[in-house]
Structure 1
Amino acid sequence: MPAANDYGSSVPLRRVSKTIPKKLLENINLALESITIESIGETNALIYSTATVVLEQMGIKPLSTKLQATPSWQLSLQNKIKDLRKKVSRLSERSNHSLERSKRETTIEALESAKQQLVALSPRLKRYTNERHNKRMNKLFINNPCKMYSQFKGELRRPMSDPPQSSTSKFWKDIWEKKTTHHTTANWLKRLKKSHQHTVAQQGLTISKVDIKCKVQSMNNWAVPGHDMIQAFWLKKSTSLYTKMAKQMECLIEEGDHSEWLTKGRTVLLIKDPMQGPTPKNYRPIIWIHECFSMYNVHPALVAFIKMSMTKWKTELEANGKKLATVKNQARHLSR
C-alpha cells in the first residue's frame, strides 16, 4: 500500500475493458466497510490497493512503465516485406542475365509472383498500422484529451523543442510565487458585487454520503489521475467508503489543515504561437482565480479552510511531456 502522502512509487492503474463481477464488488465493499481508517490519505491508499487486488483477481496485468513494444503482427509483416524485396531484387538481377529460355521464363514468373505479393502486403501493413494508431488516439481522447490534442497537433506541424528550463521556471515563479494585491475599482467587480448583495449566507456545513456520491458520479471514469494515480472509476466502485470519506472531509474543514499532496497539481504549458518559438512567455498555462468569498456569503469555516489550502498550492510545470519545475501558487487578493 502506498504511503498516504507519497505516491512516487505508484503507477497508473490499468483501464478495465470488461465488467467487474458483481459478486467480487460486493465482497470488496464488505471488506472495505470493516476496515478502520482514520485519514483521507489512508482512504486513498486503501482504494489504490483495492483496485490492484481487483485487477489481479480478474487476471489483468499491471500497467508497464516500459516503452510499448512493436506488435508481433507488425514485425511479421515487416519481415515478410523485407524478404520479398530481397527476393525481387535477386530475381530482377538474375532475369537480366542471359539464361536458357526455360529458366528465364521460370525466373520471370517467380519475379511477377513476388511483386504481386509485395504489392498486397505493403498496403495491408499501412492499413493495419493506421487502424492501430486510430484506436490508440480514440482511447487517448477518452483518458487524456490534452495529450491527444498535443500529439495530434504535433503530427500536423514540425515538433517544437522544449522551452529552456531555468528561464521558464523563473518566468512563472515571478508570476505565481509573488504575492500581489489588486484594486477594487474595476466596473465589472462593482456590478458583480451589486448583483449578489442579497445572497443568503450559507447555513451549516455538513458533507454527506450523498454529496460524495453525486460528485464522484459526475467525474470521467478514465480521465488522467492526479499524483495518487487513482482514476474516478475506482472511486465509483468503492461505494462502502463514501460515509467515511464524508466524515474525513468534514474533519479536514474543522481542523483547518491537510496534507500537501491534496493540493499538488500539474500544469501543462501549451504553445501559443509556433512562430515565436519555445520562449517562456509563449506558453499558456491553466490558472486558478480567487475572490468572491464574501460576495457569495460562503460559510466562514469553509472560507478559512480554502484560504489555508491555497497557501499549500503547488503545481508541476510540464511542456512536451517533460517536467520543468515545481512552482507554488500564491493567491491574488483585492485591496480594500
Structure 2
Amino acid sequence: MHRFFAELEPSLSVTEQNLADRVRYILRSNIFGDAELERLRREAIPSSNGNATAGNAAPLDAQQTAYVDAAVNIPFVANSDDDGIVSHELEIMRSILEESMLETRSMPLENRPRLPRIPLSKRNRAVVRALNPMLVTYLEASRDLCETDSILFGAALAVCRIIGAKLPVAGRATQKSSAIPAWRKRIEDRIAKARALIGRLTSFRSGNNRPRIMRTVRMAFAGTNINLFQPDITQKLTERIDDLKQKIAAWGKRIRRFSERSRRFNQNRLFQSDQKRLYKTLERPEVCGAGPGPDQADTVAFWRGLWSEPVNHSAGPWMEVVASQSASVTPMDPVTITPEDVAEAVRRAPNWKSPGLDGLHHYWLKGFVVCHAVLARQFQEALDQKSLPSLFTTGITHLVPKDQDTADPSKYRPITTQPDEKTI
C-alpha cells in the first residue's frame, strides 16, 4: 500500500506506519460509509473496476492490490462486533495466512518475530476460528513436527497482523526491561534532583557566587518575592533546604511503603502457589545480581566445556546388579497418543507461558484445534522411532546468579525454556 501511495502522491512524504494508522483511523471513526469507501477504492485502484477499459486504467501489480485491499478491509474485520465474516474477508485473511506461512517456513527459529499476547476478546477469537479450518490442508501435508510448528507459527503471525497487533520490526531480540518499576524511577529522579538542589543552595549559602550556582538558586525561588540579596536570604535558604529534606524523607518513606506492600503481595501469592519456595526465600536472602556481568566469551567457553564435550561413562559393577534386578520388571504397555491426549495437555497449560525458541504459546495450540490430530500422529511417530527433532532439544538458557559474585560464569544457575509442545 505504501508503494502504491508513493506512486500516486510522490510529493508527500509518509511512512508506512503513518499511512496504516490513517487508514485504521478512517475506518474506526466511520467517517465514510460503505458506499463511499467502495467508490474511493474504485478511484484509487482503477484496474479493480470491472467497467474500466485497458486504455484509461493503469495496470496494477497483483501484490500491491492485495496490500491495498488488506489495509482497507482487515481493520473492519478485526473490529467487528459479530462473529460473521463474509467470503471476501475470508479470502483476504487466507492471503495473509499464506504470506505469513511462506515467510516463516524458511526462517530460522532465532529470527522469528516475538508474538505478543493478544486480548482474549470476541473479535480476536472470531479471527482464530476463521483461520482454523484453513489450516487443515497445510497440516495434512506436514511431514514432521518442525514443519507443523512452522505452519502454526505462521498462522499465529497472520492472526496478529489481521487484528493489528504490534510486532517487533526484526528478529526476536528486544531491549531488556529493567526490574525497577516506573513509579520508583520517577520518585528516585525527584530525590536525585532535590539532593542536587540542596547542594547548590548550601554552596550559595556558604558564599559561592558562581554564575551556575546563582542561576540554580534563582530558579529555585522563581515565582516568589524573594530577592537573593535581601538581608534574610540566609534564613530563606535554610527554610528551603529543610523543606527539600522533608520532601526527600517523604519520598523515601513512600518507596519503602510501596516496596513493603509489593513484597507482602508477592509472598501471599507465592504462598498460595508454592509454599516450599516461599519458605526457602525467607530462610535464604535473595540474590539481586546487580553487579557486573561476566564476559560473554568466558561464559560461552565455560558452559560449552560442560555441555559440548563428550562424556565417557564407565560401566561399574553396580550396573550389572541393577540390570539383574530389572529383568523381572514387567515392561510397560505401548503408549498410544490420541488427539484427546493432546487436547487435554494443551487445555491444562497456561496460555502465555514462556514459549522457548520456537516462539509459539499454548494459546495458539488451544485456538487451532485442527492441529491436535496431526500433533498426536507426529508425536506417536517420534515416540516409535525414539527420536526427536532438534526443535525439542534446543532452548533458550537464562543464567540466574547464585550469589553476589556475578562476574564469575560458574556462579550462575542455568535455566532453559523449551518449546510449548515439549509439555505435551
TM over 0.5: yes
Match of 1:214 among 344, 358, 370: 344
In the other structure, the counterpart of 2:146 is 41
- Hey, what's the Cα distance between the residues in 1 that align with 2:373 and 2:365? 13
In the other structure, the counterpart of 1:326 is none
Q: 1:110 to 1:189 in 2, by over 3 A?
A: same
* Percent identity between the two aligned chains: 17
- Hey, what's the Cα distance between the residues in 2 that align with 1:8 and 1:156? 26
SS of corresponding position for 1:66:
coil
Judge which range, 85-94 or 40-49, deviates more: 85-94
1:92 lines up with 2:202 in the alignment: yes
1:224 lines up with 2:354 in the alignment: yes
Q: In the TM superposition, what are the counterparts of 1:1-336 in structure 2 within 5 Å?
A: 1-3=103-105, 6-16=108-118, 18-21=119-122, 22-33=125-136, 35-36=138-139, 37-39=141-143, 40-56=145-161, 57=163, 59-62=165-168, 65-68=174-177, 73=183, 76-95=186-205, 102-125=232-255, 153-155=286-288, 165-166=300-301, 169-170=304-305, 172-174=307-309, 176-178=310-312, 186-194=320-328, 196-197=329-330, 199=331, 201-202=333-334, 206-252=336-382, 259-264=389-394
SS of corresponding position for 1:68:
coil
Tell me the CA shift for residue 116 of structure 1. 2.1
Q: Is the 8 A contact 2:351 2:363 kept in 1?
A: yes
Tell me the CA shift for residue 128 of structure 1. 5.6
Q: Is the 8 A contact 1:221 1:232 kept in 2?
A: yes
Alignment RMSD: 5.0
Q: Is the 8 A contact 2:397 2:414 kept in 1?
A: no
SS of corresponding position for 2:153:
helix
- Hey, what's the Cα distance between the residues in 2 that align with 1:35 and 1:168? 39
Q: 1:52 to 1:72 in 2, by over 3 A?
A: same
Tell me the CA shift for residue 58 of structure 1. 5.9
Higher relative contact order (CA 8 A, sep 6+): 1
- Hey, what's the Cα distance between the residues in 1 that align with 2:153 and 2:200? 58
Q: 1:51 to 1:119 in 2, by over 3 A?
A: same
Q: Deviations over 1:153-209 (max 9, x none)?
A: 5328988957765465445555x4547656575545444432x23x5753xx75321
Greater Cα radius of gyration, structure 1 or 2: 2
Structure 1 gaps of 5+ residues are 284-318, 324-336
Q: Deviations over 1:183-237 (max 9, x none)?
A: 575545444432x23x5753xx753211221232344444433332223332222
Tell me the CA shift for residue 7 of structure 1. 0.9
Q: Deviations over 1:57-93 (max 9, x none)?
A: 2635447612336876555434432332233223334
Structure-1-length-normalised TM-score: 0.57
SS of corresponding position for 2:287:
helix
SS of corresponding position for 2:112:
coil
Total equivalences in the alignment: 270
Q: Structure 1 counterpart of 2:109, which letter?
A: Y
Q: Which structure has greater strand proportion? A: 1
Q: Is the 8 A contact 2:400 2:414 kept in 1?
A: no
SS of corresponding position for 1:30:
coil
- Hey, what's the Cα distance between the residues in 2 that align with 1:272 and 1:67? 20
Q: Structure 1 counterpart of 2:187, which letter?
A: L
- Hey, what's the Cα distance between the residues in 2 that align with 1:264 and 1:115? 54
Q: Is the 8 A contact 2:201 2:237 kept in 1?
A: yes
Tell me the CA shift for residue 135 of structure 1. 9.2
Tell me the CA shift for residue 46 of structure 1. 1.9
Q: 1:44 to 1:206 in 2, by over 3 A?
A: same
- Hey, what's the Cα distance between the residues in 2 that align with 1:272 and 1:6? 32
Q: 1:168 to 1:219 in 2, by over 3 A?
A: same
Q: Structure 2 counterpart of 1:19, which letter?
A: L
- Hey, what's the Cα distance between the residues in 2 that align with 1:121 and 1:273? 30
